[in-house]
Amino acid sequence: MSLHEPDVDERSVGELLMHADLTCRQVLADPDAGNARALMRTWGEMVEASVDLWNRIPGDQKDPVMSRIGAAATALHRSQIKAGWPGAGDTDDRLSHAGDTLCRAAELVASRRPTFTPVSGVVSADVDAARTRLMHTLYVGTHGVGVALRDYMTKAGGHLDSKQRLPPGESLKQARHAFQRLGAVEDLARGYLNVRWPAALCGEYRDPPSSTRIDRALAQWDVQAHRSLAGTPTTANLLLVAVIQRDVAVAGQFLTQAAARTHAIDADQHASRLATPLADVEASWANLGRHLQQLTPRGDRRIDPALLLAGNELRASLREITHHGGAVATPDVMAQRTDLATASRSIQASTGTAVELGHVLREVVQDPNVTVSAKGAHALATDQTGRHPVQAWIDAADLHHNRDVPLPQVVRETLTGAIDHTLSANMTANSAGTFLEQSTPQQIAAAASMTGRRQQDRTPLALAVNTPGYGCER
Amino acid sequence: MTSTPTATLDEAMHTWITVVQLLSAAADRGFAQADTAPAIHSLALGAQLAACGALALVPDNLEVDDGPPQAGEVADLVAAAEGLTRRHPIDAFPVGASGVVVAICDLVREGSS
């Protein structure tokens, strides 16, 4: 995660809180004993920023927990000044950044805080979520500092045992005191979170999904799939391409069905032309995926990290529209989340790019230099030719050691056939979806009812079909 | 990162490999079930992506096999994988494990709601 921000910070309070939370998780995920004193120097600032933001968030503050944490941090700071530990020196960049982020959030809240106290139910839920998120940030950050301090004490104890003294500026006694006091703060934060985390986060206000996210994710996926297959054409990468393409097809069916039911697209055209071809697309990718699953043992499914990243983003972009928890969202809910006509067109366009991707897959499979694991090739070849084939497809020694072997012909033919099926299915679906580019009867009727000229009057005259265009052969 | 006793690291890596196997089994089961219940495909894909992310943290010299046959639904297998990640402190797992654990927790939520 980058610690740098754009010049103009346009993030909302919720986004800032989330960023601070993730930054503190980094502190916890990578505690460093060598950095313990820097963390201790910075922890107080983060608590101060948390207390400031807490006090600025509107609504009743019946629970005085944050005041107690603030008081504990101030007392610890005083003790540390007296003891001269951790002393002057560097601060921790991550914790300092989390504190700065919370300060920015506090400024935003202060500039927008309403002058009246009562808040609506929705705002109240958002406020509760913000307090819970803030307390979690503090809890995780404090725990991270505590873990680093514990490691510091272990190392300092070892050093003291072996050399009977500590380097100047180090103190095991002060570290122990600080550790105990951090533990008390952690207990306070945990007590607050026990009854709220993560349930209270459900009330967190979220911006609606970006309308261009699917398009962007599809484009990124398409580019990355081409790059990965050109660079590392392994069966694991082929498998991921097949299952992601199937997911696009599954989501495409959900989206177009919802679009038809909410009249965002022509329901009759969808039922008669598009529904079946899209189902065929999904079935064809599923078939290819099954073959590639057999060909790729679970332990061999090491994926190009960039492809994994693009796949994760595409899945998330589709899922935030099509799903609600573990189930498929209702058409009305999907319609509230995005423009279903635009999303349907994106899916239709993706069947066009899938044709190109299918050709790349075909080239990979046809490449005589492509190798696969012997076990995987044996599993698929056996499945295709039966348990007792006349000819052994895989050498017994290769199978025993699971060496990489050239693609056996029967496996190549099976995969080529499956890819050809995906190609034809995608081309059919792409052609069948051309009606999505046209206006629905409802849209035409709405346009006709507008004041001014009717839609057909505003439409430029089309050239006659049999008239050759400029520069064309006559 | 603090040093971890070798025995603990080995146990943690063994657990981590079982997590990979459980997630892969969840994915394969979900892909098969999606033929009749397409809504499960997204969860299965999530399990596959998490399995790939987890496998990437296993050193190349360690062999990961398919593991024993696993019973249960996709959500059960993902929940079992999440349960395994609690057996060891996060710093006993390979560097980068926290991101995978968060992804598995997200999948548990997706599967249970």
Which range has the worst mean pLDDT, A203-212, A330-339, A353-362, A437-446? A437-446
Q: Is B42 in contact with A289 (Cβ distance < 8 A)? A: no
The predicted pLDDT at position A463 comes to 46
Does position A189 have pLDDT exceeding 60, yes or no? Answer: yes
Q: Is B52 in contact with A250 (Cβ distance < 8 A)? A: no
**What's the CA gap between A466 and A39, in Å, rounded?**
78
The predicted pLDDT at position B80 comes to 95
Burial zone of B67 (CB within 10 Å; 0-12 exposed, 13-18 middle, 19+ buried): middle
Confidence bin at B4 (pLDDT 50/70/90): very low
pLDDT tens digits along B41-70 = 999 999 999 999 999 999 988 888 888 888
The predicted pLDDT at position A471 comes to 47
Which helix (H) or strand (E) covers residue B112, if one does?
helix B97-112
pLDDT tens digits along A76-100 = 999 999 999 999 999 999 999 999 9
Give percent of chain A above pLDDT 90.
56
A-B contacts (CB, under 8 Å)? 101
The predicted pLDDT at position A472 comes to 53
Confidence bin at B2 (pLDDT 50/70/90): very low
- CB-CB neighbors (< 8 A) of B45 in chain A: 243-244, 247, 311, 315
The predicted pLDDT at position A1 comes to 43
Nearest-CA distance A302 → chain B (Å): 6
Which range has the worst mean pLDDT, A261-270, B33-42, B86-95? B86-95
Q: Is B52 in contact with A303 (Cβ distance < 8 A)? A: yes
- Residue B112: which of A282, A311, A326 has the nearest Cβ? A326
Which range has the worst mean pLDDT, A10-14, A51-55, A292-296? A10-14
Q: What is the mean pLDDT of residues B81-104?
A: 89
The predicted pLDDT at position A326 comes to 76
Q: What is the mean pLDDT of residues A51-79?
A: 88
Nearest-CA distance A202 → chain B (Å): 12
- CB-CB neighbors (< 8 A) of B111 in chain A: 326
- CB-CB neighbors (< 8 A) of B2 in chain A: 31, 33, 151, 154
- Taking CA–CA distances from A303, the nearest residue in chain B reads B52
The predicted pLDDT at position B60 comes to 86
Does position A430 have pLDDT exceeding 70, yes or no? Answer: yes
Nearest-CA distance B82 → chain A (Å): 17
Confidence bin at A402 (pLDDT 50/70/90): confident
Q: What is the mean pLDDT of residues A23-41?
A: 87
The predicted pLDDT at position A99 comes to 95
> Which pTM does this prediction carry?
0.67
Establish whether the linkage from the previous residue to A208 is cis, with ω within 30° of 0: no
pLDDT tens digits along A200-236 = 777 777 766 677 889 999 999 999 999 999 998 999 9
Q: Is B65 in contact with A293 (Cβ distance < 8 A)? A: no
DSSP state of B48: H
Domain residue extents for chain A: 13-203, 213-439
User: Is this complex scored with an ipTM above 0.85?
Assistant: yes
- Residue B38: which of A32, A250, A289 has the nearest Cβ? A250
Contact B52, A308 (CB under 8 A): yes
**What's the CA gap between B90 and B96, in Å, rounded?**
10
Does position A389 have pLDDT exceeding 60, yes or no? Answer: no
Those residues whose C-beta lies under 8 Å from the C-beta of residue A186, and which sit 6 or more positions away, are A139, A142, A143, A146
The predicted pLDDT at position A447 comes to 57
Q: What is the mean pLDDT of residues A351-363?
A: 94
Which range has the worst mean pLDDT, A322-331, B41-50, B77-86? A322-331
- Residue B28: which of A250, A293, A302 has the nearest Cβ? A293
**What's the CA gap between A269 and A274, in Å, rounded?**
7
Give percent of chain A above pLDDT 70.
86
Q: What is the mean pLDDT of residues B66-93?
A: 89
Does position A113 have pLDDT exceeding 70, yes or no? Answer: no
For residue A426, which of A340, A361, A330 has the smallest C-alpha distance? A361
